[in-house]
Amino acid sequence: MEKVIDVSMQILKGMMALLLAGMVLLVFTNVVLRYSFNSGISVSEELSRWFMIWMTFLAAIVGVREKGHLNVDSLVKRLPVLAQKICHVLMEGIVLYLLWLFGSGSWQQVLINLDVPAPMTGLPMATVYLAGLVFSLLSAVVVVFDLYKVFSGAPVSDVHTTLNIAD
């Protein structure tokens, strides 16, 4: 399972690179067309905004996997190993609950906006809110896998990079 998640993260990083390249290409081309030829690509602003939204949510998934989000652990590091594991499980439980809230809200927005066309592209606005749902689902898979590692007896240091302890 670890390999599957690692490969998935590499795919997500590749998708982020493609989205960034597409965003830069759209914006740069539009700027050149506007200032040089007094014209432009009408959908470039909308698509570049959507690319940015998707890129941000994909990066957040990678951040969950790599433990790149803000974490204050000065108290937890001073606790015994068992207490550190308990804190880790509680934290991951809270994260799962928050992912559930975010994912269910995103799903509701996807359903609401399925028939709402975007002003320039005409694509459904649900595409924007789908990014939040994808983030919630894939992040939950990463968190559940981390919890599995804790309950299967893996050292906490393997699960969370900031907890430098061994069993």
The residues near 134 (Cβ < 8 Å, ≥ 6 apart) are 57, 58, 61
Q: Which of 146, 144, 101, 107 is nearest to 126 (CA)?
A: 107
Contacts 24+ apart (CB under 8 A), 147-154: 147/89, 147/92, 150/85, 150/88, 150/89, 150/92
Predicted local distance difference test score (pLDDT) of residue 69 = 81
pLDDT digits (tens, 9 = 90+) for 107-145: 999 999 999 999 999 999 999 999 999 999 999 999 999
> pLDDT digits over 50-64, tens only?
999 999 999 999 999
pLDDT tens, residue by residue, 138-165 = 999 999 998 998 888 766 554 444 444 4
What mean pLDDT, rounded, does the chain reach?
88
pLDDT higher at 94 or 40: 94
3-state secondary structure of 124: strand
- At residue 155, the pLDDT reads 60
Asked if residue 70 has pLDDT above 70, the reply is yes
What is the tens place of the pLDDT at every residue in 12-21?
Answer: 999 999 999 9
Is the distance from CB of 157 to CB of 163 less than 8 angstroms?
A: yes
